[in-house]
């Protein structure tokens, strides 16, 4: 996926670090989004039977922590590729 996006001219960062802070500014930890495209789109990749609520919560949490509005959740493990788009 990384190679394909880059070959089409997209700027893609892999394992993009996101520092998560509490409301008072206390650093809670670091998380890593699978792919970050053109500094606007977060992509989480999965390889499981189906997309679960935990996967959605993970992506939405990453998006909120990074202050980004757009995200894709892509699952390659089902019978067909599952893609869900999220906008905050």
Mean pLDDT of 60-88: 93
Question: How do 27-37 and 12-21 pair as beta strands?
Answer: antiparallel
Run of H or E including 22:
none
Task: State which fold the 2-87 domain adopts.
Answer: Lambda Exonuclease; Chain A (3.90.320)
Q: 54: burial class by Cβ within 10 Å (0-12, 13-18, 19+)?
A: exposed
Question: What's the chain's average pLDDT?
Answer: 92
Mean pLDDT of 13-24: 86
Record the pTM. Answer: 0.85
pLDDT beyond 90 at 84 = yes
Spatial strand order of the sheet with 41-46 comes to 12-21, 27-37, 41-46, 70-75, 82-87
């Amino acid at each position: 996926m990384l190679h394909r996006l880059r070959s089409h001219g997209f700027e893609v960062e892999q394992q993009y670090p996101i520092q998560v802070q509490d409301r008072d500014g206390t650093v809670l930890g670091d998380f890593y989004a699978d792919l970050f495209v053109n500094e606007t789109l977060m992509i989480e990749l999965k390889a499981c039977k189906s997309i679960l609520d935990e996967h959605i919560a993970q992506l939405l949490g990453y998006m909120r922590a990074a202050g980004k509005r757009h995200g894709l959740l892509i699952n390659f493990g089902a019978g067909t590729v599952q893609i869900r788009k999220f906008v905050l």
